[in-house]
Copies of this chain bind each other. A is one copy, B any other.
Amino acid sequence: MSNNSITNVKKKSIPPKRRQTLASHLSPITSRQSPSRRGRPREFDQEHALDQALELFWRQGYEGTSIADLRSAIGITAPSLYAAFGSKEELYGRVLEHYLAGLGRTLADALREETNTYAAVKRFLLESAHVFAGPKNPRGCLISCAIPTCAPENRAAADIVASKRTGSLLTLRNRFQQAVKNGELPRDTNTEQLARFYGAVIQGMSIQALDGAGAKALRGIAETALKAWPGGTRPGPVP
């Protein structure tokens, strides 16, 4: 109950946050949506709510989206929102997962379905170009350029997205390491450096998409980036 003001030197009073933790750390899927539970059933569709929240966070960012925005977009009252998602920060985490399971799954798809690593990267870049400039969703990437900077109070939310970006870099690097073993990449390839490079390209494409670059311009960036592929433009031998 009492706000321990000892630990916090800053002047902004960060709200206490009582019920945050447990739900989000158990299972990423079934936090509160397992059917046929005890009390009064939920009257709104969680999936639809996440869609609406995704749209807002994507278009306006974390700090630019208020609870009031979310409430009116989803069409529920504040207590319902907090009962279902815990807090703005937790909802944001859920939305990121929702994105990565939907339009943001381009990297995972490409790496899983393409046996050739060069082809996987190429597909990842080109599909991203398509999504980032697509007319049906907000421009850019929800992950790549979300909350780059923020007020100290929102640091936690920023760290969540940052960890997703870092995760993508690691995923790329792991594949490149495997590709070195396969012979797809030269033995002396700096895999982390290469992963960072293609990660940077994606992030830059995302920002330029926000600034108005179309799919064609983004594909041009991707095309140029592929010229930096080790061993020349041609893909390495397929294992």
Contacts and interface: CB of A to CB of B under 8 A. Distances in A.
Contact of A196 (B63, B169, B221): B221
Interface stretch (A75-83, A101-109, A149-157): A149-157
A144 interface: yes
A66 B153 CA distance: 12
A46 interface: no
Interface in A57-72: 58-61, 63-66, 68, 72
Interface in A186-239: 190, 192-194, 196-197, 199-208, 210-213, 217, 220-221, 223-225, 227-228
B210 A149 contact: yes
Contacts of A110: none
B154 A207 contact: no
A62 B208 CA distance: 19
A9 B59 CA distance: 17
A72 to B, nearest CB: 7
A177 B63 CA distance: 40
Nearest to A166: B211
Contacts of A207: 144-145, 148, 165, 200, 203
Q: Is the interface of A mostly helix, strand, loop or mixed?
A: helix
Considering residues A59, A192, A196, A227, which has the most beta carbons from chain B within 10 angstroms of its beta carbon?
Answer: A196
Contact of A203 (B61, B208, B224, B225): B208
Interface residues of A, number: 54
Contact of A60 (B151, B166, B194, B205): B151
Interface string A105-144: 0000000000000000000000000000000001010001
Nearest to A217: B196
20 contacts: A60-B150, A61-B151, A63-B151, A66-B151, A145-B148, A146-B148, A148-B206, A196-B208, A196-B213, A196-B217, A196-B220, A197-B201, A197-B224, A197-B225, A200-B207, A200-B208, A203-B204, A204-B204, A225-B228, A227-B227
